């Protein structure tokens, strides 16, 4: 059973990788991985410890590759630039695989299917479908696909750009934004735990998450794909 399948079956439970014998030129060398741990259930901090689907998946892969993980915390908008500047080797933070990003970084094979969705307050009858975002204040996180997607597809939406995922949700909560657009896992998780919010049934996009890797480390991309297979 693969690491990815173990995690999916376990929900978000702890997984111990059993894969052995993966050859890699840098076995034993710490693998520096950038993340913005503010996107539950994929990555977040609980009791001063990083956790979530992505975190557990990468830790399991590190064991399979024989490389301890050295996490680098950074805002989402800095993940791709951080790879380009060689601040870390890989970035894992619910990152969509896009043609634009592929120009400057490599990606592993997709490991999770997601997409953009709209979240509003319960009882908000003014926004029942994506087209209703026109003329409304919509909070989005800087550096995410949501920003350019809305500018292109819904130019009449009034974007409120914030640094962190939690800020984006808070603006909807306190009424300073009519809606937010974010990834499906985080939206459903927040709506379920917070209450008083709902995710519109019509999804804006269908996306795939991948792990971003420096272009000068093709052997790392290969090893990561072997661990994911």
Q: 36-81 pLDDT, tens per residue?
A: 999 999 999 999 999 999 999 999 999 999 999 999 999 999 999 9
Instruction: Report the candidate in 227, 228, 222, 220 with the shortest Cα–Cα distance to residue 88.
Output: 220
Check: pTM over 0.95? Answer yes or no.
no
User: Do the domains at 3-113+208-228 and 116-205 have one common CATH topology?
Assistant: yes
**CATH class of this structure's domain 116-205:** alpha beta
pLDDT confidence of residue 4: 57
**CA dist., res. 55 & res. 209, Å (int):** 14
pLDDT confidence of residue 27: 83
- Provide the percentage of residues in the chain whose pLDDT is more than 90: 87
pLDDT confidence of residue 15: 35
Q: What is the mean pLDDT of residues 75-103?
A: 98
Q: 33-45 pLDDT, tens per residue?
A: 999 999 999 999 9
pLDDT confidence of residue 63: 96
pLDDT of 118 strictly over 60:
yes
Q: CB count, 10 Å around CB of 224?
A: 30
User: Alpha-carbon Rg of the chain, whole angstroms?
Assistant: 18
Using CA atoms, how far residue 5 sits from 52, 119, 146, 152, 159, in Å, is 15, 29, 28, 35, 37
**CA dist., res. 25 & res. 92, Å (int):** 21
**CA dist., res. 71 & res. 92, Å (int):** 10
Q: Where are the domains of the chain?
A: 3-113+208-228, 116-205
The tally of CA atoms less than 13 A away on the side-chain side of residue 26 is 17
Residue 196 banded pLDDT, cuts 50, 70, 90: very high
**CA dist., res. 112 & res. 64, Å (int):** 19
72, β-bridge pairs: 34
Q: Which fold has domain 3-113+208-228?
A: D-Maltodextrin-Binding Protein; domain 2 (3.40.190)
Residue 2 banded pLDDT, cuts 50, 70, 90: low
Tokens of 52: 């979530």
pLDDT of 31 strictly over 50:
yes
Residue 229 banded pLDDT, cuts 50, 70, 90: confident
pLDDT confidence of residue 26: 76
């Amino acid at each position: 059973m693969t690491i990815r399948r173990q995690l999916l079956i376990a929900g978000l439970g702890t997984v111990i990788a059993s894969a052995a014998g993966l050859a890699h030129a840098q076995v034993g060398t710490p693998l520096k991985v950038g993340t913005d741990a503010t996107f539950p259930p994929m990555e977040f901090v609980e009791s001063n410890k990083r956790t979530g689907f992505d975190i557990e998946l990468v830790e399991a892969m590190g064991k399979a590759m024989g490389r301890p993980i050295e996490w680098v915390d950074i805002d989402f908008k800095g993940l791709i630039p951080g790879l380009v500047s060689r601040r870390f080797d890989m970035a894992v933070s619910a990152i969509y695989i896009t043609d634009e990003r592929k120009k400057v970084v490599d990606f592993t094979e997709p490991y999770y299917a997601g997409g953009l969705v709209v979240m509003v307050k319960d009882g908000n009858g003014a926004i029942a479908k994506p087209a209703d975002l026109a003329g409304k204040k919509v909070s989005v996180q800087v550096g995410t696909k949501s920003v350019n997607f809305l500018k292109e597809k819904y130019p009449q939406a009034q974007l409120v750009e914030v640094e962190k995922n939690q800020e984006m949700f808070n603006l909807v909560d306190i009424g300073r934004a009519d809606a937010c657009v974010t990834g499906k896992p985080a939206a459903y998780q927040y709506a379920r735990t917070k209450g008083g919010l709902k995710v519109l049934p019509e999804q804006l996009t269908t996306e795939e998450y991948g792990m971003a890797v420096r272009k000068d480390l093709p052997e790392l991309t290969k090893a990561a794909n072997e661990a994911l297979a």
